[in-house]
């Protein structure tokens, strides 16, 4: 949607906006009217417009909220705007509730636990440390994109020289029920993950068009449910794989 000729005739006075953003591909709107991409830098906007809004271009990064600024018209008919997106870090893990630390030369800072969506005005510097008792820790490079996503699996710690009884004690009863349970968890988890992700995408499309902040919590909640369901599916598949190896 662009400004039509009739609207321009009704209000021929415009303001020229020079726009800078750290996401050049973002979509630029004046109120609800699409102007173009941020990479164009310059836009002529009718003086009745009240707000400039930048929307991420990729539906794959729909957790990124639009950036908005009120449009204050200048007597010089030129307005300079700098509209930068914060940097997002989405971190998921198997198992869940893994502690995430930002390690830098001068300090170690706890960011939260998985699953985590963390925002920062600047790209994170240093390393991300994922740690939980009983598991081997993992370090990651945070990334410097607007949208950074990490999905990791921590391995259980093994004490060298200690042989667990489960490796030599004869199995007294069938564990076939475990196979059925793991398969069921994997199947149900996969179905739920697809269902929640579909709902999240549908809600995001509504949010992307309207910009209504009330819709954001809905699709973020569906996204968390989808991540949990995906983790359950992967856990079920992992149990089946282990059972095949040790049989």
**Whether residue 126 has pLDDT greater than 70:** yes
Give CA–CA dist 240/222, Å, rounded. Answer: 27
The sheet carrying 107-113 orders its strands as 107-113, 99-104, 127-131, 138-140
Torsional class of 14: left (φ above 0), alpha (ψ -120 to 50), beta (otherwise): beta
Structure confidence at residue 200 as a pLDDT band (50, 70, 90): low
pLDDT score recorded for residue 6: 36
Q: How far lies 166's CA from each of 98, 121, 133, 179, 193, in Å?
A: 27, 50, 22, 17, 34
Quick check: 38 and 53 in contact, CB under 8 A?
no
**Whether residue 1 has pLDDT greater than 50:** no
**Helical spans, DSSP H, in the chain:** 5-10, 176-210, 216-246
Give CA–CA dist 204/60, Å, rounded. Answer: 10
Winning range, highest mean pLDDT, from 10-24, 26-40, 58-72: 26-40
Lowest mean pLDDT among 11-20, 28-37, 165-174: 165-174
Q: How much is the average pLDDT of 237-247? A: 62
User: Taking all residues of the chain, what is their mean pLDDT, rounded to a whole number?
Assistant: 78
Identify which of 79, 2, 86, 87 has the alpha carbon closest to the alpha carbon of residue 41: 79
Identify which of 68, 61, 107 has the alpha carbon closest to the alpha carbon of residue 88: 61
Winning range, highest mean pLDDT, from 26-40, 201-215, 221-235: 26-40
Identify which of 67, 100, 103, 108 has the alpha carbon closest to the alpha carbon of residue 85: 67
Q: What is the pTM of this model?
A: 0.56
Identify which of 57, 84, 59 has the alpha carbon closest to the alpha carbon of residue 69: 84
Lowest mean pLDDT among 12-21, 86-95, 102-111, 160-169: 160-169
Give CA–CA dist 178/247, Å, rounded. Answer: 12
- Bond preceding residue 95 cis, omega within 30 of 0: yes
Pair of tokens at residue 48:
């009745």
Query: What percent of the chain shows pLDDT beyond 90?
Result: 46
Give CA–CA dist 92/109, Å, rounded. Answer: 18
């Amino acid at each position: 949607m662009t400004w039509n000729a009739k609207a321009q005739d009704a209000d021929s006075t415009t303001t020229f906006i020079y726009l800078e953003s750290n996401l050049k591909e973002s979509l630029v709107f004046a109120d609800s009217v699409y102007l173009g991409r941020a990479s164009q830098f310059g836009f002529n906007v009718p003086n009745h417009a009240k707000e400039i809004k930048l929307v991420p271009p990729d539906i794959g990064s729909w957790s990124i909220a639009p950036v908005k600024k009120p449009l204050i018209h200048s007597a010089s008919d030129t307005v300079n705007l700098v509209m930068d997106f914060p940097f997002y870090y989405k971190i998921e893990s198997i198992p869940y509730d893994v502690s995430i630390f930002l390690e830098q030369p001068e300090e170690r800072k706890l960011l939260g636990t998985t699953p985590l969506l963390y925002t920062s005005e600047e790209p994170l510097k240093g390393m991300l440390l994922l740690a939980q008792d009983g598991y081997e820790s993992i370090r990651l490079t945070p990334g410097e994109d607007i949208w950074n996503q990490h999905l990791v699996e921590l391995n259980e710690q093994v004490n060298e020289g200690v042989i667990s009884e489960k490796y030599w004690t004869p199995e007294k009863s069938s564990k076939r029920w475990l196979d059925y349970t793991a398969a069921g968890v994997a199947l149900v988890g996969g179905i739920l993950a697809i269902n929640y992700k579909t709902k999240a995408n549908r809600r995001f499309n509504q949010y992307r068009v309207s910009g209504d902040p009330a819709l954001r919590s809905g699709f973020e909640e569906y996204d968390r449910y989808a991540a949990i369901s995906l983790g359950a599916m992967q856990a079920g598949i992992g149990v089946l794989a282990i059972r095949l190896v040790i049989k």
